[in-house]
């Protein structure tokens, strides 16, 4: 892993870039049901881009690797990342292809339902990863998700691990067809649904989450951490010990990108040299703050907001034996 000194952490995010079409509604439509929505907004999103924006707002030097289409959304999305201070030299505009789009319903309780159309995200290749190899080798952490082809995720994990660079994989959206090598990340951070998909185990209680975390670590990742929303997180640490962390007390408005803020917070904090416990606490604060705002990228928190929350709730999210 590269030596940081006192410079800002260097984070490379390899993943999806979407335009989110967000519908606010009283309740999420059930199959066959037609409901009236309250509003429709176009908001930049995509799990990869969300994580890149979050990391940049937390003070990291961020490079984004991905693709957008040559449609009207593509340039808007690329320009938005650039305005956040993110290096977009490895964000390619793909000819003859639409940009990724996510259609999101958000209800009055802040819960969401999401349909993703991959568009150009489905064309991110291992060659794109290799084209960014020099940046990846100099990074303090690489962040990955599953909204791009799994073989591309695989190539990125292999390159980063071979280069001694920390790898954090957010295995979302949930899928079961995951190669073993993808699970060899330093940190694997699914939520309950994603953990169920990866392990085949039911994950509804904290005890079940601990069992799933332990299984994931046995399958090859160095640390497996399962996020449980308002119930906090469980971690199977590098030494195999199970630990838990409490969530921060917040009023949820929109949980759409809370997991993305969590992953970015974890990567930035670890890259600054924080302990696992402090990094998880920082990540929990980032995820909590993202859930208090509407939208994806607009909800990504700034460092000063996290520091304020950590000061207000100093005992929250401290890892304890599970």
The angle at the Cα of 98, spanning 92 to 99, to the nearest 5 degrees, equals 60
Of 239 and 140, more confident: 140
Q: Spell out the CATH class of 10-28+39-321.
A: alpha beta
pLDDT grade, residue 318 (50/70/90)? Answer: low
Residue 227 has a pLDDT of 95
Residue 294 has a pLDDT of 83
**Which of 33-37, 52-56, 216-220 ranks highest by mean pLDDT?**
52-56
Q: Which residues lie closer than 8 Å to 28 by C-beta, 6 or more apart?
A: 105, 107, 111, 112, 113
Catalytic positions? 260
Q: What is the pTM of this model?
A: 0.91
User: What average pLDDT does the chain have?
Assistant: 91
Of 180, 165, 186, 153, the residue nearest 66 (C-alpha): 153
């Amino acid at each position: 892993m590269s030596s940081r000194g006192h410079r800002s952490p260097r984070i490379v995010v390899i993943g999806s870039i979407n335009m989110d079409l967000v519908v606010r509604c009283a309740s999420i439509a059930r199959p066959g049901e037609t409901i009236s929505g309250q509003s429709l907004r176009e908001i930049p999103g995509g799990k990869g881009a969300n994580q890149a924006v979050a990391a940049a707002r937390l003070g990291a030097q961020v490079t984004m690797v991905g693709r957008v289409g040559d449609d009207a959304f593509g340039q808007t999305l690329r320009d938005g990342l650039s305005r956040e201070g993110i290096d977009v030299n490895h964000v390619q505009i793909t000819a003859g292809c639409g940009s990724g789009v996510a259609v999101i319903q958000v209800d009055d309780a802040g819960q969401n339902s999401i349909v993703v159309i991959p568009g150009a995200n489905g064309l991110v290749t291992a060659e794109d990863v290799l084209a960014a190899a020099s940046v990846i080798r100099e990074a303090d952490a690489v962040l990955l998700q599953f909204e791009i082809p799994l073989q591309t995720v695989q190539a990125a994990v292999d390159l980063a691990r071979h280069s001694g660079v920390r790898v954090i994989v957010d295995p979302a959206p949930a899928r079961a067809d995951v190669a073993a090598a993808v699970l060899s990340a330093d940190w694997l951070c699914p939520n309950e649904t994603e953990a169920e998909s990866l392990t085949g185990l039911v994950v509804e209680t904290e005890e079940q989450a601990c069992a799933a975390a332990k299984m994931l670590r046995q399958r090859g990742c160095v640390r497996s951490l399962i996020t449980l929303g308002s119930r906090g997180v469980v971690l199977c640490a590098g030494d195999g010990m199970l630990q838990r962390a409490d969530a921060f007390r917040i009023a949820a408005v929109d949980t759409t990108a809370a997991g993305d803020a969590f992953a970015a917070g974890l990567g930035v904090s670890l890259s600054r040299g924080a302990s696992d416990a402090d990094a998880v606490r920082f990540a929990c604060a980032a995820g909590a703050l993202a859930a208090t705002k509407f939208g994806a990228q607009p909800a990504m928190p700034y460092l000063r907001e996290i520091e304020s929350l950590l000061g207000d709730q100093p005992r929250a999210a401290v890892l304890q034996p599970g």
